[in-house]
Amino acid sequence: MVRLITHNLLACHVKGCTRNNFPLLFENVQIEIQESDFNPDFLRNFMPKLEWKALVDAARQLGDTSLPLEQPEMVDEEFLKALHHVLLEIHVMEGAMVCQNCKHVYPISNGIPNMLLAEHEIG
103 binds another protein (CB under 8 A): no
Compute CA distances 70 → 14, 26, 53, 55, 62, whole Å.
Answer: 30, 21, 8, 11, 18
**Distance of closest approach, residue 62 Cβ to another protein, in angstroms:** 16
Cα separation, 114 vs 120, in Å, equals 17
Range in contact with another protein (rule: CB under 8 A) among 1-9, 60-68, 72-80: 1-9
Cα separation, 121 vs 123, in Å, equals 6
In the set 9, 19, 103, 105, which binds another protein (CB under 8 A)? Answer: 9
39 binds another protein (CB under 8 A): yes
**Cβ pair 11, 21 in contact under 8 A:** yes
105 binds another protein (CB under 8 A): no
51 binds another protein (CB under 8 A): yes
The gap between the terminal CA atoms of the chain, to the nearest Å, is 25
85 binds another protein (CB under 8 A): no
77 binds another protein (CB under 8 A): no
Cα separation, 41 vs 8, in Å, equals 19
Binding site for another protein (CB under 8 A): 1-3, 5-6, 9-13, 22, 34-37, 39, 41-46, 49, 51, 91, 106, 110-117, 119, 122-123
